[in-house]
Amino acid sequence: MDRDPPEVRVSKTISWLLRHGAQGEGLQMRADGYVKVVDLLDHPKLKAQGLDLDALKGVVKADSKQRFDLILESTQGAKLESFAAPADGIWWIKARQGHSIKTVQLELKPVTFVSDIPTGIAVHGTNRVAWESISKQGLSKMKRNHIHLAQNIAGDGVISGMRSSSKILIYIDVQKALAAGIKFWLSDNGVVLTEGDKTGLLSKKFFARVVDSDGVEITGWET
């Protein structure tokens, strides 16, 4: 039985469609990840929940991690102020990051130096089960396009990039990774992203330190 409240179920459905399911569900997606709102709202999974534009705006605004970007464009593709709402305006929505859809090319800010990251920090949060594998092989992007890193621990002024339930915190030596040719980017909601190496891994040799959620150092992964 799904115990999530209705608004959470809607948010999860939107997130899944925009990050992973659009192509398989017949939603036309632009190269930059945007989908027409009218098409999204017409999808059976959302139509059944009676979601309309105003309700969608509420979902986007209420999302504490700012996962979605909702824009209004003219039919010629010019971005419009949302309050303008001309008769020929088209609403579009995208997920800011987290895609497994390979054709999506997000507009990301390249990280050339650690100083390009506002906090100077890149940390990945995970659980103890996943850590067993990570401690041996490093971080994997798995089926996603990027590995996600936060600019600090969850709840410490961090908007997005880490689950608040994370029990293991892996701090990345970004400068060392950059020097080795690993590329990093910043999403427009502040998440640090990397594809890792050519196999999709961020080696544990780029881990600066690992601690648990109480700040206790975790060792034994270094060898």
SS3 content of the chain, % helix, strand, coil (to 5): 25, 20, 50
What is the pLDDT, as a whole number, of residue 160?
60
Beta strand 35-36 pairing with 90-95: antiparallel
Record: fold of 6-95: Arc Repressor Mutant, subunit A (1.10.10)
Considering the chain, tell me which residue range(s) the CATH 1.10.10.970 domain(s) occupy.
6-95
Using a 10 angstrom Cβ sphere, with 0-12 exposed, 13-18 middle and 19 or more buried, the burial of residue 135 is middle
CATH topology assigned to domain 109-212: ADP-ribosylation fold (3.20.170)
pLDDT below 70 — which residues of the chain? 1-2, 81-88, 154-161, 164
**Sign of the torsion angle spanned by Cα atoms 17, 142, 198, 160:** positive
**Cβ atoms 190, 161 nearer than 8 A:** yes
**pLDDT reported for residue 100:** 87
Q: What is the spatial distance between Cα 180 and Cα 206, in angstroms, rounded to a whole number?
A: 9
Q: For CATH 3.20.170.30, list the domain ranges present in the chain.
A: 109-212
Query: CA 202, CA 112: separation in Å to the nearest integer?
Result: 17
Instruction: Give the per-residue SS3 of 101-117.
Output: CCCCCCCCEEECCHHHC
- pTM as predicted: 0.73
pLDDT per position as a tens digit, 91-126: 999 999 889 888 888 888 999 999 999 999 999 999
